[in-house]
Amino acid sequence: MIQTEISPTTPEDALLPDADEEQGPHRRCIATGESLPVERLVRFVVGPGDVLVPDIDARLPGRGLWLSAERAMIETAASKRMFAKAARGNVTVAADMADTVADLLKRRCLNHLGLARRAGLVAAGAEKVRAQIATGRTAALLEAEDGSPQERRKFVALVPDVPMVDCFTGAELGAALGRDAAVHVALLPGRLTATLLEDAARYNGVRRPIAP
């Protein structure tokens, strides 16, 4: 655990963005001071015992500490005591906070994929994906990161203007869809699809880099 603290009366605090502002579609990143859409940020709160808690769903009570959804940003905020400064008090930050956030975002993405399947928005498997693409209604393409790069390029070429997500393994996609594995997945338009794309972008920024 990394424990950080700062005096609530230091002049440095006066320059920090007001982390209590939870109005509108934008929030201020505590590290950069930049106002960004909430879809590009991760919310944290200080829980019992002054322990920092990631609030992936942005629903927990308390002052929100918002940070850009980037792994390096989380690690920098922890090492430079930015959470403590924004909270104006003691904050204990887990050493593996970035990994925790990545795991929570991955789980959220795959949960959304499962809900999208039950809502009838998902086509899985090469033939079914090609058939959905042929309708002209495909809104997102998911390709297993451990699948064939050549096959991935073929599907991407069919819908070059459609967002493509490739940060999940075939086993992870399959588990979300109730099957052993899924290499090619396509989604129809819908709120679940839009939310999945937003969360996948956050997960891609926070997950541990894949070793070459």
Report the domain count for the chain.
Answer: 2
Assess whether 90 and 15 both reside in one domain.
yes
Out of 78, 95, 112, a domain closes at 95
Rounded to an integer, the average pLDDT of 112-126 is 97
Residue 208's pLDDT is 87
pLDDT over 90 percentage in the chain: 86
* The token pair that represents 128 in the structure block: 């079914």
Out of 33, 65, 95, a domain closes at 95
| Window from 14-23, 51-60, 122-131, 195-204 with minimum mean pLDDT | 14-23
Rounded to an integer, the average pLDDT of 58-80 is 95
* The token pair that represents 122 in the structure block: 């998902």
Residue 52 belongs to some domain of the structure: yes
Confidence of residue 209 (pLDDT cuts 50, 70, 90): confident
> What residues make up the domain containing 48?
2-95
Assess whether 9 and 76 both reside in one domain.
yes
pLDDT, one tens digit per residue, over 136-187 is: 999 999 999 999 999 999 999 999 999 999 999 999 999 999 999 999 999 9
Residue 211 belongs to some domain of the structure: no
Q: Greatest CA span in the chain, whole angstroms? A: 63
Assess whether 87 and 117 both reside in one domain.
no
* The token pair that represents 58 in the structure block: 């942005």
Out of 69, 95, 121, a domain closes at 95
Assess whether 195 and 109 both reside in one domain.
yes
| Window from 17-21, 41-45, 145-149, 208-212 with minimum mean pLDDT | 17-21
Mean confidence (pLDDT) of the chain: 89
Rounded to an integer, the average pLDDT of 23-28 is 84
Q: How many CA atoms lie within 13 A of 120 on its CB side?
A: 0
Backbone angles phi, psi at 161, to 5 degrees: -95, 5
Can you tell me the distance from the alpha carbon of 42 to that of 170, in angstroms, rounded to the nearest whole number?
Answer: 26
Angstrom distances, CA of residue 91 to CA of 20, 95, 111: 16, 12, 30
Rounded to an integer, the average pLDDT of 112-138 is 97
Residue 212 belongs to some domain of the structure: no
Residue corresponding to tokens 């920098």? 76
